[in-house]
Amino acid sequence: MYGEDLDRYLSDRDAKEAILEVGRRMYAKNYVVSNDGNITCKVSPTTLWTTPTGVSKGYMTDEMLIKVDLEGHVLQGTRKPSSELKMHLRVYRENPDLIACVHAHPPVATSFAIAGIALDRPILPEGVVQLGVVPVAPYATPGTQEVPDSIAPYCRTHNGVLLANHGALTWGMSPMQAYMRMESLEYYALVTMYTGNIIGRANELSCEQVDRLVETRTKMGITTGGRPKCRFAAGGQPSPCSQGHACPSGSPCENGEVASVVRSVMAQIQGR
Ligand SMILES: [Zn+2]
């Protein structure tokens, strides 16, 4: 979709600055602890900058970053890339249009990854538009070739994956977009946890509402993310594609009410 347009690549300097900024943000938000996580950003069709192994992503400096080619050979820099670089390289191989990848272990999303539960319920409009469905890639031993193989099927169709018993990986057209998807993913996981296990109830968006959001997303030029499985038609009746049970009568499944319930839950969570 972007062809060979080189303008879409950041300069070396901007790519490195973006990686450092994303590292600071994900460390500050507790998406990584200790030396966990890694970030990459392509600066040409065949070269990219990556974070080194063995350093906290919250305290990186410019000279710590490493430039590599798509096979992972070091072209510039004195440190060693992470063994998880293989996973990023596979994303770029599967989908050459992508520019950046972010890998982290955000605690709620990682809990879903450990439980093997995909984030695929249509409960947040922003989740459907910005992120879509987040599948769980099967467990693979970190650092091995099994990890890239496990994520390969999703690199063209989705915006990120949960890595079973490990963490999460998101990608995009810039380090900041990939990072924002990580933020959306962790928030989606958090709200799914609150509504599922603490409040004990989540009113899902109807199939019509999901259709409208997917349409909006397509108009925004986002063609990845998949379509969350909806269970209810407007009015709370099971949709033809329903795989679950109908809402109890009188429950707020009607158009409009779902959005207001979701908004009020979000406002409570955010302390507004
Ligand atoms: Zn990891």
* C-alpha 190 to ligand 1 mean position (Å): 19
The Å distance, Cα 72 to ligand 1 centre, comes to 17
CA of 161 to the centre of ligand 1 (A): 12
Consecutive H or E run containing 160: strand 160-163
Measured in angstroms, how far is the CA atom of residue 5 from the centroid of ligand 1? 32
CATH 3.40.225.10 at 6-198, yes or no = yes
Six-digit token string for 63? 């000279």
List Cβ neighbours of 115 (8 Å cut-off, separation of 6 or more).
Answer: none
Higher pLDDT, 242 or 96: 96
Print burial letters for 187-198: b (CB count within 10 Å at least 16), e (below 16): bbbbbbbbbeee
Phi and psi at residue 205, to the nearest 5°: -65, 150
* DSSP-derived secondary structure for 193-261: HIIIIIS----PPPHHHHHHHHHHHHHTT---S--PPP-B-TTSPBPTT--S-PPPTTSS-STTHHHHH
Question: Distance from the CA of 252 to the center of ligand 1, in angstroms?
Answer: 40
Ligand 1: distance of its center to the CA of 60 in Å?
Answer: 17
**How many angstroms does the Cα of residue 76 sit away from the middle of ligand 1?**
23
Q: What is the pLDDT of residue 256?
A: 39
Q: How far apart are CA 18 and CA 20, in angstroms?
A: 5
Q: Tell me if 134 sits within 8 A of 120, measured CB to CB.
A: yes
CB 137 within 8 A of CB 164: yes
CA of 180 to the centre of ligand 1 (A): 18
114 Cα: distance to centroid of ligand 1 (angstroms) = 13
Q: Which of 123-132, 189-198, 253-262 has the weakest average pLDDT?
A: 253-262
State which H helix or E strand residue 50 sits in: strand 47-50
Give the tens place of pLDDT for each residue, 189-245: 999 999 987 788 888 888 998 999 999 999 888 889 988 888 887 766 666 544 433
Distance in angstroms (rounded) separating the CA atoms of residues 59 and 103: 16
Least confident of 28-37, 62-71, 91-100, 232-241: 232-241
| Interval between CA 97 and ligand 1 midpoint (Å) | 24
Ranges of each domain in the chain: 6-198, 207-269
pLDDT tops 80 at residue 17? yes
Task: Measure 80 CA to ligand 1 centroid, in angstroms.
Answer: 16
Average pLDDT over residues 141-157: 91
Residue 149 burial (10 A CB sphere; 0-12, 13-18, 19+): middle
Query: What secondary structure letter does DSSP report for 7?
Result: G
Smallest CA-to-CA distance from 48 within 70, 64, 77 is with: 70
